[in-house]
Amino acid sequence: MNSNTGCLFCRIGIKGLLEELPSKSKNCQSVPCNRGIYEDAYCVATLAPEQYSQGHTLVILKNHRTDMVDSSISSEELVGFVNAIHKLTKHLKKNLRDSNDKAPERIYVCSLCDGVEHLHAHLIPRYPKTGKGFQYIGELEKNYKESEFWKKSDEERAHNLQELAERLRLQLL
């Protein structure tokens, strides 16, 4: 991973992104958690620690690029990034289920790169009978610390993410 020491993803590194869960405590610790679900030559994909929606996944470009228009991103990297998103979106839609055994109706793809200035995309499943569009995503982000998932201990969250990752894992290099 080409790195930028000011970038959270570059400091954590690929191993950390795939095998650790940031602790909810303020002391910057992490909990062992094998939450990676995909890796290829260009990207890694891991279940997001917040889990706005079950199966919320981050697809992260390995090389440090701030966003899609970064002057140093190659066409090959960009194609690899988009291909990984496409492959994972189809995979998540086919393999995820909510508590009522329903598949997601949509997998939203968001690439904001504001919080962490490193090219990545959020794949956020939207299940039947839930909100829609930008308001839905905004509400999930605003309220995730009130969710049942977030109220669990770090160890419980790690265990749940690891189980889900085992069901969803496509390939890791």
Per-residue pLDDT tens for 36-46?
A: 999 999 999 99
- With bands split at pLDDT 50, 70 and 90, how would you rate the model's confidence at 131? confident
Q: What is the pLDDT, as a whole number, of residue 70?
A: 94
The single residue listed with the structure tokens 């993803």 is 9
In the chain the beta strands, taken as DSSP E runs, fall at: 20-22, 30-32, 36-39, 43-47, 57-61, 106-110, 120-126
* CATH superfamily of the domain spanning 8-168: HIT-like (3.30.428.10)
Q: What is the pLDDT, as a whole number, of residue 3?
A: 78
- Mean pLDDT (the chain) is 92
Q: What is the pLDDT, as a whole number, of residue 171?
A: 75
**Res. 173: pLDDT tops 70:** no
How large is the average pLDDT for residues 10-24? 92
pTM: 0.93
| 121 bridge partner residues | 59
**Res. 28: pLDDT tops 80:** no
Q: What is the pLDDT, as a whole number, of residue 24?
A: 87
How large is the average pLDDT for residues 131-155? 88
How many helices (H) and strands (E) are present in the chain, helices listed first? 5, 7
**pLDDT of 69-113, one tens digit each?**
999 999 999 999 999 999 999 999 999 999 899 999 999 999 987
How large is the average pLDDT for residues 118-132? 92
**pLDDT of 42-65, one tens digit each?**
999 999 999 989 999 999 999 999
CA 76 – CA 24 distance, rounded (Å):
37
